[in-house]
Amino acid sequence: MFDLKNKIAVVTGGSRGIGKAICLKMAQSGADIALIYTSHDEKAHQVEKEVSNLGRKVAAFKCNIANDSEVKNLMNEIIKKFTKIDILVNNAGICDDKLAFNMSYDSFDKVIRTNLVGTFNMIHHSYLNFVKNNSGRIINISSIVGLTGNAGQANYAASKAGIIGLTKTIAKELGRKNVTCNVIAPGFIDTDMTTKIENKNDILKNILLNEFGTPNDVANAAVFLASDEARYITGTIIKVDGGLVL
Ligand SMILES: NC(=O)c1ccc[n+]([C@@H]2O[C@H](COP(=O)([O-])OP(=O)(O)OC[C@H]3O[C@@H](n4cnc5c(N)ncnc54)[C@H](O)[C@@H]3O)[C@@H](O)[C@H]2O)c1
Ligand 1, atom 1, lies closest to the CA of: 189
- In three-state secondary structure terms, 35 is strand
How does residue 195 score in pLDDT terms, banded at 50, 70 and 90?
Answer: confident
Whole-number Å distance between alpha carbons of 38 and 118? 12
Instruction: Quote the ligand 1 centre to 188 CA distance (angstroms).
Output: 13
> What's the Rg (C-alpha) of the chain?
17
Instruction: Quote the ligand 1 centre to 61 CA distance (angstroms).
Output: 16
Say what the pLDDT of residue 199 is: 87
What is the per-residue DSSP string for 104-154? -HHHHHHHHIIIIIHHHHHHHTTHHHHHHHT-EEEEEE--THHHH--TTBH
28-42 pLDDT, tens per residue? 999 999 999 999 999
210-232 mean pLDDT: 98
How does residue 18 score in pLDDT terms, banded at 50, 70 and 90?
Answer: very high
181-196 mean pLDDT: 94
Is 156 a residue of the active site?
yes
Enter the CATH code of domain 8-240.
3.40.50.720
Say what the pLDDT of residue 81 is: 98
Say what the pLDDT of residue 85 is: 98
How does residue 228 score in pLDDT terms, banded at 50, 70 and 90?
Answer: very high
Domain ranges of the chain: 8-240
Q: Cα–Cα distances in Å, from 61 out to 11, 19, 218?
A: 10, 14, 22
pLDDT surpasses 90 at 23: yes
159-172 mean pLDDT: 99
Say what the pLDDT of residue 207 is: 98
How does residue 184 score in pLDDT terms, banded at 50, 70 and 90?
Answer: very high
Ligand 1, atom 7, lies closest to the CA of: 143
pTM listed for this prediction: 0.98
Looking at the DSSP bridge assignments, the partners of residue 183 are 140, 237
State the chain's mean pLDDT as an integer. 97
41-96 pLDDT, tens per residue? 999 999 999 999 999 999 999 999 999 999 999 999 999 999 999 999 999 999 99
Say what the pLDDT of residue 198 is: 84
pLDDT surpasses 90 at 196: no
Task: Name the active-site residue from 37, 105, 127, 156.
Answer: 156
Answer for the pair 32, 20: CB distance below 8 angstroms, yes or no: no
